[in-house]
Amino acid sequence: MTLHTLHRRVLSLAVILGALVAFPACDSDDPEPDPTFSPSFSIASQVVDLQAGGQGLLFFFTPSVNVEITEVLIRNPLNQTERFNGNNNVFLSGEANPLQEAGLAYTRISGSWSFEFNGRDANDGSRNFNVTVTENVSALEPGTPTETR
């Protein structure tokens, strides 16, 4: 093989590779993501006694539509964040679901808690969402006297 033939083959290969890079394959059947998909979530809390003493909180969420949850970032009033792993599980519309593992609870802290839900539409996996919901929690039971110093 002559140097001229080798040069032509390398040049042809470069043109083919350039065409592949310049014109990537597209699948026109893939739906476009819907950035307007924004399900709603209601939050409920329950006060529980902790084994170590004191009180804790259990949180539950109810989605407005069927959703697949990747994670929920839970931020307490002290700005500390915990991550609840949704494991890409499907949660059904109208059903209450725990936001903590069995046997665990959050420390009861008074104030505004935020819940950042990340996931996708369970019926159409191309529609992702990021929705934040807040829940106000009181550290005291209604009617409990407070001590002042």
Candidate ranges 99-103, 125-129, 137-141; pick with highest mean pLDDT: 99-103
Q: Name the token pair of 117.
A: 């839900």
pLDDT of residue 147: 39
pLDDT of residue 124: 86
In the chain, % helix, strand, coil (3-state, to 5) comes to 15, 40, 45
Q: How many CB atoms lie within 10 A of CB 64?
A: 13
The pTM score is 0.70
Higher pLDDT, 41 or 9: 41
pLDDT of residue 9: 52
Average pLDDT over residues 116-130: 92
